Amino acid sequence: MNKKLAASLLAASTAFLCAGAQAETGKLLLTGGVSSIDGAAGGGLTPWAVIGSNATDDEVGGSAYVTTVGTRDYGLNIYGAAVGIHDRYELSIAQQDFNTRDTGAALGLPGLHLKQTIVGAKVRVLGDAVLDSDTWVPQVAVGVQYKTLGSTGLDGTLDALGAKRSGTDFYVSATKLLLGQGLLVNGTLRATKGNQNGLLGYGATLGGNENRYSLQPEFSVAYLLSKNVVVGAEYRFMRNKLEQAGSAAGLGNGLRAGDWKDLFIAWAPNKHVSLTLAYVDLGVIVPATTASRKQTGYYLSAQIAF
C-alpha cells in the first residue's frame, strides 16, 4: 500500500471518529480493549476478540491512538485508527516507524527507518464478552491484517534472504471476561510469514527455507484493580524462520528472533480516553549488531474512543 492511500484511509477514519464524538455510546470502561501495535483492538502486543471503540450492538464508533516504544537499541512509533460497527465488525489501520539506530549504521545505512502500513479487519463470530460473562462461552473473533513494508536501503538484503516486503496475517482470538472476578483472559492463534512482525519482511527462502505460514500463539491476562484501572501481562510467540536464512548468508544466528512479552497497566479516566504504560521485552532483534542484547524497555500509548 502506498503512503497516499494509507494517509487517505487514516484521514477518513479520523474524520469519522470526530463525527462520532457527537454521540454517546454505552460500552463499559476498558471492555473494548486498547489499540495494539498492529491497530486491532486488544492488548498492546496482541489482538483480542473485542471490537474497538465504545459502540454497542446498535451503534457505530471509532478510536484513534498514538504509541511509542523504546528499547535498548531500537525505537518504534505508531499511530492509527479503527472503526467499530455494531460491536461486530472492526476496520483498522496503523502506521509503524521503526528506528534502527546503531543497527542501521552498522549495516552501512545510518538513519535507517523501517516503515510499515497495516490494514486490518475483524469480525465477531461467537459470544459476547459482557453478556456472556456469567457463562463459560468466550467471545470469538477472526481477523486479517495486510502489511506492507516501505522501500528502504534494506531491500537488497531482504531480496538476498528471499524475504518479501508484504504479507497477510490471519488470526482467531477468544476472549473470556469474568466480570464478577474482574478478570479477562485471551488467546490468539496467528498464521503468519512475518519476520519480527513484518519489520524484517515476510518469509525467507535462502538456506532451504520453505515459504510457508507458521502458527504462532499469543496470550493475555488482565485484572481489574478498580473500575478504570487494569493491570496485566501478554506473551506473544514470534516466528524465527529468518535465522536459518541468515545462517546460510554467513551471519550465524545473527537474525535470530525471540518471543515478545509485556507487563502493563491501563487507566481510563473516562469512557473516551485511555492511557497504557508497559514494560516490554521483545527478545533479540538482529543480534548480529546488538551483541545479542535483549530488547527491553517501555511502551506508552494514548487512545481516544467514541
Domains by residue range for the chain, with CATH: 3-305 (2.40.160.40)
Give pLDDT, residue 133: 87
The pLDDT score that the predictor gives to residue 138 is 96
* Low-confidence winner among 34-43, 68-77, 126-135, 281-290 (lowest mean pLDDT): 126-135
Contact (Cβ atoms closer than 8 angstroms) between residue 80 and residue 10: yes
What are the angstrom distances between the C-alpha of 29 and each of 26, 33, 248, 287?
9, 9, 50, 40
Contact 76, 98 (CB under 8 A): yes
- pTM for this structure? 0.90
Lowest mean pLDDT among 19-33, 47-61, 107-121, 166-180: 19-33
- Percentage of the chain beyond pLDDT 70 is 92
What is the C-alpha separation between 269 and 275, in angstroms, rounded? 9
Mean pLDDT of 4-19: 45
Split at pLDDT 50, 70, 90, the class of 9 is very low
Q: SS3 of 25, please?
A: coil
Which pLDDT does position 4 carry in this prediction?
53
**Dihedral (Cα; 294, 298, 299, 301), 10-degree rounding:** -170
Task: Write out the three cell numbers for 74.
Answer: 531500537
Q: What are phi and psi of 207, to 5 degrees?
A: 80, 15
Query: Measured in Å, how far apart are the chain's first and last C-alpha atoms?
Result: 27
DSSP H or E run through 161 = helix 155-161
- Each residue's pLDDT tens digit, 223-258: 999 989 999 999 999 999 899 999 999 989 999 999
Confidence of residue 62 (pLDDT cuts 50, 70, 90): very high
pLDDT (0 to 100) of residue 5: 45
pLDDT mean over 39-60: 94
**Residue 32 pLDDT grade (very low, low, confident, very high; cuts 50, 70, 90):** confident
Residue 151 has pLDDT above 80, yes or no: yes
pLDDT score of 11 more than 90: no
User: How confident is the model at residue 208, as a pLDDT?
Assistant: 83
- The residue among 7 and 241 whose pLDDT is bigger is 241
Which triple of cell numbers denotes residue 13?
477514519
- For the stretch 188-192, contacts whose Cβ atoms lie closer than 8 Å and that sit 24 or more positions apart, written own/partner, are 188/42, 188/46, 188/47, 188/48, 188/217, 188/218, 188/219, 188/220, 189/215, 189/216, 189/217, 189/218, 190/215, 190/216, 190/217, 190/218, 191/215, 191/216, 192/167, 192/216, 192/239
**159 has pLDDT over 60:** yes
Q: Is the pLDDT of residue 259 over 90?
A: yes
Which pLDDT tens digit goes with each residue over 171-228?
999 999 998 899 999 999 999 999 999 999 999 999 888 889 999 999 999 999 998 9
Helix/strand/coil percent split, the chain, to 5:
15, 45, 40
